[in-house]
């Protein structure tokens, strides 16, 4: 009994860590059998998923069953589901589950998390993904709140070479479908460029006077 209690302590110590902080050597110490034995004590679903070997069909089945039926999945908050959109979780079923959880957020909350959600788009396998479609739908349904944050978060990342094409295509779709709101964005963009030019002018003037 003492050995079991000590084992449980060790398992909980590792599994209660933030999921993205779990190192490979730590994960190697937790077998899938251990996870199943102590499933009721695991408080973070991303940890369980991270331990799954996605080359093993039986373990994939365990993962999908946990997503569909476990209390961990049902009780998981949208904020916690953000971790499942990290690059360490490439399985499409897992990512769809995370996107469904995000649908519980209000428009204001989605706008608040927009920088992180745009970063998560970099980890999608294809340009057209459940996350991209979710964000586009939300942005078009509420252009003033979600759409505004969506546009500027995408635009801010257009300089990143590895995701430039993806972000440009998504931004193009948004501008084609957002109606008159694109006129407001055009004016905002002009103001932004003017401020950048003014800042450069002031900095050059200061440098010349030194």
Q: List pLDDT tens digits, range 56-87.
A: 888 888 888 888 887 778 888 999 899 999 99
Would you place residue 175 in the very low, low, confident or very high pLDDT band (cuts 50, 70, 90)? very high
Burial class (CB in 10 A: 0-12, 13-18, 19+), 127: middle
Task: Determine what percent of the chain is predicted with pLDDT higher than 70.
Answer: 79
Whether pLDDT at 195 is above 80: yes
Helices then strands, counting H and E runs in the chain, come out as 14, 0
Whether pLDDT at 106 is above 90: yes
Strand (E) or helix (H) holding 37: helix 32-37
Rg of the chain's alpha carbons, rounded to an integer?
22
Whether pLDDT at 102 is above 60: yes
pTM of the predicted model as reported, rounded to 2 decimal places: 0.76
Q: Report the pLDDT value the prediction gives residue 7, as an integer from 0 to 100.
A: 53
Whether pLDDT at 204 is above 90: no
Whether pLDDT at 187 is above 60: yes
Q: Tokens 């008159």 sit at which residue?
A: 180
How many Cβ atoms sit within 10 Å of the Cβ of residue 46? Answer: 23
Q: Report the pLDDT value the prediction gives residue 46, as an integer from 0 to 100.
A: 80
Mean pLDDT, to the nearest integer, of 10-39? Answer: 52
Q: Do the beta carbons of residue 84 and residue 97 sit within 8 Å?
A: yes
Angle between helices 114-121 and 148-156 in degrees, nearest 10: 50
Q: Tokens 């959600």 sit at which residue?
A: 117
Whether pLDDT at 1 is above 50: no
Would you place residue 14 in the very low, low, confident or very high pLDDT band (cuts 50, 70, 90)? low
Mean of all residue pLDDT scores within the chain: 82
Q: Report the pLDDT value the prediction gives residue 205, as an integer from 0 to 100.
A: 73
Whether pLDDT at 37 is above 80: no
Name which residue leads in pLDDT, 4 or 122. 122
Q: Report the pLDDT value the prediction gives residue 41, as an integer from 0 to 100.
A: 45
Whether pLDDT at 51 is above 70: yes
- What is d(CA 79, CA 61) in angstroms, rounded to the nearest whole number? 25
Largest CA distance in the chain: 78
Q: Report the pLDDT value the prediction gives residue 34, as an integer from 0 to 100.
A: 52
Mean pLDDT, to the nearest integer, of 113-132? Answer: 95
């Amino acid at each position: 009994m003492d050995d079991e209690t000590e084992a449980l302590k060790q398992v909980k110590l590792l599994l209660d860590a933030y999921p993205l902080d779990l190192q490979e050597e730590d994960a190697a110490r937790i077998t899938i059998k251990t996870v199943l034995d102590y499933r009721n004590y695991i408080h973070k679903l991303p940890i369980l998923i991270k331990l799954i070997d996605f080359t093993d069909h039986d373990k994939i089945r365990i993962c999908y069953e946990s997503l569909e039926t476990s209390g961990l999945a049902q009780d998981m908050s949208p904020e916690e589901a953000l971790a499942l959109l990290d690059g360490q979780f490439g399985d499409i079923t897992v990512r769809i589950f995370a996107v469904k959880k995000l649908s519980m957020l209000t428009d204001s909350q989605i706008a608040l998390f927009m920088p992180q959600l745009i970063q998560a788009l970099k980890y999608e396998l294809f340009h057209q993904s459940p996350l991209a479609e979710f964000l586009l739908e939300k942005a078009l349904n509420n252009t003033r709140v979600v759409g505004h944050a969506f546009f500027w978060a995408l635009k801010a990342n257009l300089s990143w070479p590895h995701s430039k094409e993806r972000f440009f295509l998504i931004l193009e779709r948004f501008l084609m479908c957002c109606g008159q709101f694109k006129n407001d964005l055009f004016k905002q963009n002009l103001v932004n460029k003017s401020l950048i030019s003014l800042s450069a002018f002031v900095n050059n003037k200061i440098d010349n006077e030194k």
